[in-house]
């Protein structure tokens, strides 16, 4: 019998390591990575009407309005690749209304991963973060430096990665996080995120393996 594809959500404060873990999870589990922030930055890069509007909110560290984000994420989730391979949804939902909208489309995850990282670590991670525009890979000047001089020379920084802006982003996160968590209590796994990225991944990998094992036993018995 064919296995149902996995549907996973990952959440956590700004710079808690969502993107980094998504690289590792998709490598092993071959899920479609859907990151709300990346979709919005693609709209900004393409200079669309939605992108221009979204940037005003992102500059202030606020949530982009639902009428832009909800449809954007829904369309990506409904595409054939996400439906066939399963998905890993990163940075969505971030408010009760976004969570409710998903539920209304009939979208229910199997697992909700919550990355827990103390606040002082978050600021340090944001300020040192760099991105490789060629591969899309996430680096950190101190914790995850580029492998070669060539990569180092082309790294870029996100426009909202300043100490001042991350404080605004953290404030927005604290305002919304509880209501989102309350929707997924039964399927939440809390992951301690203040250790090396490999150790963080080991916790996530453990939870996903357990989920797949439980499904196997279930399928054998029905
Ligand atoms: P988004 O792009 O989602 O940003 P974010 O939530 O602030 O999260 P980040 O991407 O900053 O961090 P991350 O958790 O992925 O950490 P990373 O792995 O890079 O959203 C941006 C904006 O878009 C929002 O402010 C909002 O305006 C808008 N938006 C997005 N979604 C929305 C929604 N649903 N509704 C409305 N608006 C929305 O890691 C960070 C750094 O730490 C890296 O340098 C990395 O190398 C390093 N690092 C990672 N793990 C470790 C580790 N274990 N040890 C040491 N260093 C580590």
Three-state SS string over the chain comes to CCCCCEEEEEEECCCCCHHHHHHHHHHHHCCEEEEHHHHHHHHHHCCCHHHHHHHHHHHCCCCCCHHHHHHHHHHHHHCHHHHHHEEEEECCCCCHHHHHHHHHCCCCCCEEEEEECCHHHHHHHHHHEEECCCCCCEEECCCECCCCHHHHHHCECCCCCCHHHHHHHHHHHHHHHHHHHHHCHHHEEEEECCCCHHHHHHHHHHHHHHHHHHHHHHHHHC
**CB of 51 closer than 6 angstroms to any ligand 1 atom:** no
Residues of the chain predicted below pLDDT 50: none
CA distances from 128 to 12, 97, 145 (A): 18, 32, 10
The pLDDT score that the predictor gives to residue 1 is: 55
Structure tokens, 63: 């949530």
Q: Tell me which of 22, 36, 89, 146 to substitute to probe ligand 1's pocket, judged by most ligand atoms within 8 Å of the beta carbon.
A: 36
CA nearest ligand 1 atom 34, residue: 92
Closest by alpha carbon to 169, among 211, 108, 123, 124?
123
The pLDDT score that the predictor gives to residue 219 is: 87
Dmax (CA) for the chain in angstroms is: 56
Q: Give me the residues paired with residue 36 across strands.
A: none
The pLDDT score that the predictor gives to residue 114 is: 97
CA nearest ligand 1 atom 53, residue: 197
CA distances from 93 to 35, 47, 56, 106, 181 (A): 10, 24, 20, 14, 10
Find the 100 Cα to ligand 1 centroid distance in Å. 22
Predicted model pTM: 0.95
The pLDDT score that the predictor gives to residue 3 is: 77
The pLDDT score that the predictor gives to residue 56 is: 98
* ipTM over cut 0.95: yes
């Amino acid at each position: 019998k064919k296995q149902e594809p996995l549907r996973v959500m990952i959440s956590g404060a700004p710079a808690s390591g969502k993107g980094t873990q998504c690289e590792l999870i998709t490598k092993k589990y071959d899920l479609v990575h859907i990151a709300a922030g990346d979709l919005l930055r693609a709209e900004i890069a393409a200079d669309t009407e939605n992108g221009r509007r979204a940037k005003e909110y992102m500059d202030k560290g606020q949530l982009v309005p639902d009428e832009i984000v909800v449809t954007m994420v829904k369309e990506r989730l409904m595409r054939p690749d996400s439906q066939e391979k399963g998905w890993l949804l990163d940075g969505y939902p971030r408010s009760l209304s976004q969570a409710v909208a998903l539920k209304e489309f009939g979208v229910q995850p199997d697992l909700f991963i919550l990355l827990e990282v103390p606040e002082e670590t978050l600021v340090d991670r944001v300020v040192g973060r760099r991105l490789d525009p060629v591969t899309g890979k996430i680096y950190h000047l101190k914790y995850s430096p580029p492998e070669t001089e060539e990569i180092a020379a082309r790294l870029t920084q996100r426009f909202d990665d300043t100490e001042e802006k991350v404080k605004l982003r953290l404030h927005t996160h604290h305002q919304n996080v509880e209501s989102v968590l309350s929707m997924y209590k039964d399927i939440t796994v809390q992951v301690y995120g203040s250790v090396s990225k490999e150790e963080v991944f080991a916790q996530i990998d453990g939870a996903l393996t357990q989920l797949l094992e439980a499904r196997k036993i279930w399928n054998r018995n029905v």
